[in-house]
Amino acid sequence: MTSLALAKKIGQYAAALRYVHLPESVVQEVKNRTLDLIGVSLPAWREKPAQILISYALKIEGNADASILLHKTRVPAATAALVNGTMGHCLEIDDDHNQLVGHPGVTAIPACLAAAEKAGTSGREYIVSVVLAYQLTCSLGQAITSGTLHDQGWHPTGICGTFGAALGAAKALNLDTDQIVCALGIAGSQTSGLFEYQTDGTWTKRLHGGWSAHNGVLAAILAKGGLTGPASVLEGRFGFLHAFAKRGNYDPQLLERAFFSGLYEIEKTSYKPYACCRDTHPGIDVTLDVIEANEIEPTSIKSIQIFLHQEALPIVASPAERRYRPQTTVDAQFSIYYAVAAAILSRERRETMTTFLAQFTEEMIKDQGILDLAARITCTADLELNAMFPEFYGAKVELTTYDGKIYKHFRQAHRGDQSIGAEKFSYTQLEQRFMSLTESVLEREQAKKAVETIDRLENLDSLTEFMRMLSVPKKGGR
């Protein structure tokens, strides 16, 4: 390490980065991520947590800087990021980074959109801001030993995402190097997000995306106004890494190496195909592979044993009483048993880009057929899968039918994973998914126009008209 603080190095790099420096593939990835995050956010307006945040936001007085999705009323930029980020995290379909073991897009994109609207930022400048936000959020995750944050009760999306949101918002607001450093320093005193929602299926996880986006925008605004923050906020004696990861579980050099590697973390971030915790996705796909290949009827299934990496078990297999019989939709989204059973019984084909969204409602989590099948599923850790994680989120399955047949299968990664050799999503598939997710809230022509606008982001003088277009819901859709 050199004597120059990490936040200073990051600030210098961010202040100097321009659109022309970005590879075409990275620019396209920002378009893809923007399309997907907006797509998974829009139908979430119906969710109770989103409604609570919208009701709160519409009472906030202040500058009409930015848009809330599906609402014509404009609100302060940080408030817009709060609501849109919460909406983006409500349905559990927002993207996820392997090494971060968290969701970078749901903090980065709402923060950058809100800051860009406030500042009148061009599409090109917005693209650069999103790249930076992903880069820092995901690099922070790589600097900390895998499992450390979860073991201590921290949700990486919340605690790492605030820094990425602050960096992205600072770039969109055109802060200089010193102001960017202060924005990161301020973000360090605002970052949080506890995993305790796991115990009772409550809604605080939904808030983590929005709260991090909000705090990132606020940090950037305050820094622009002159508030200072410590340059050593990341690696210092009382800084982020030590406070959240503790001695021996982090390495500032890994953060620096990841951020300045020349590789763009946004390209390594995986898409989530299904409306549930990512740790369930390999189990869903490996099981459906077997069922579809062998035309197995659900009624013939005697038992299913799913094997995952060890770190997944406390999240998707425990507490057992709430995972086998979910009491809330959050419980269901974090249950390997419910998620696999619901996917089997849905009869929806994966090639249609289904998200199994309809299976994770208050009504469906009481479905006796799903619960009965879930009761025949077990989940165990596997040493081979442990060794692969977090580079690969793999799964194994052993399915036994009542006639005594046993089917075994291994899958290295779920659909949408961005790791080498995985079944990645194409832009056509993401567009298909966007149109499907938004059909209840946007007019078809409106949705198509949104897709076309995102496809030419680099040509937009500002994002104002684009966001205004997304503030008008389909007639009868809201």
The pLDDT of 22-49, averaged and rounded, is 97
| Chosen domain end from 382, 411, 440 | 411
State mean pLDDT over 187-196: 96
Q: DSSP alpha helices (H): ranges in 173-312?
A: 177-187, 204-224, 240-245, 252-259, 281-294
Same domain? For 264 and 338 the reply is: no
Quick one: 207 and 325 in the same domain? no
Is 422 domain-assigned? no
Does 399 reside within a domain?
A: yes
Q: Is the pLDDT of residue 478 over 80?
A: no
Q: Are residues 177 and 304 in the same domain?
A: no
Whole-number Å distance between alpha carbons of 221 and 198: 33
What CATH number should be reported for the domain holding residue 28? 1.10.4100.10
CA nearest neighbour of 357 among 342, 373, 337: 342
Q: Which domain holds residue 350?
A: 278-411
Instruction: Tell me: do 130 and 169 sit in the same domain.
Output: yes
- 173 with 117: CB under 8 angstroms? no
- Residues 242, 377 within the same domain: no
Banded model confidence at residue 477, pLDDT cuts 50, 70, 90: low
Same domain, 245 and 106: yes
Same domain, 345 and 370: yes
Q: Cβ atoms within 10 A of the Cβ of 37, count?
A: 27
Query: Rg of the Cα trace of the chain?
Result: 21
Higher pLDDT: 194 or 2? It is: 194
Residue 107 lies in a domain: yes
End-to-end CA distance of the chain: 53
The whole-chain average pLDDT of the chain stands at: 95
Q: Do residues 77 and 168 touch, judged by C-beta distance below 8 A?
A: no
- Report if residue 155 sits inside a domain: yes
* Together in a domain, 169 and 315: no
Say which residue, 478 or 34, is predicted with more confidence.
34
Main-chain dihedrals φ then ψ at residue 20, nearest 5 degrees = -65, -15
pLDDT at 248: 83
Q: Which CATH number goes with the domain that contains 373?
A: 3.30.1330.120
pLDDT of residue 246: 79
Which of residues 352, 380, 411 is at a domain's end? 411
Mean pLDDT across 31-37: 98
Bigger pLDDT: 352 vs 105: 105
The angle formed by the CA atoms of residues 292, 295 and 296, to the nearest 5 degrees, is: 100
474 within domain boundaries: no
Q: Identify whether residues 49 and 123 lie together within a single domain.
A: yes
Q: pLDDT: is 147 or 14 the higher one?
A: 14
Are residues 222 and 332 located together in one domain of the fold?
no
For residues 137-145, give the mean pLDDT.
95
Tell me which of 270, 295, 324 is where a domain ends. Answer: 270
Q: What is the pLDDT of residues 448-457, one digit of tens each?
A: 999 999 999 9
Q: What is the pLDDT of residue 1?
A: 42
Establish if 57 belongs to a structural domain.
yes
Q: Per the structure, how many domains does the chain have?
A: 2
Residue 117 contacts residue 66 (beta carbons within 8 Å): yes
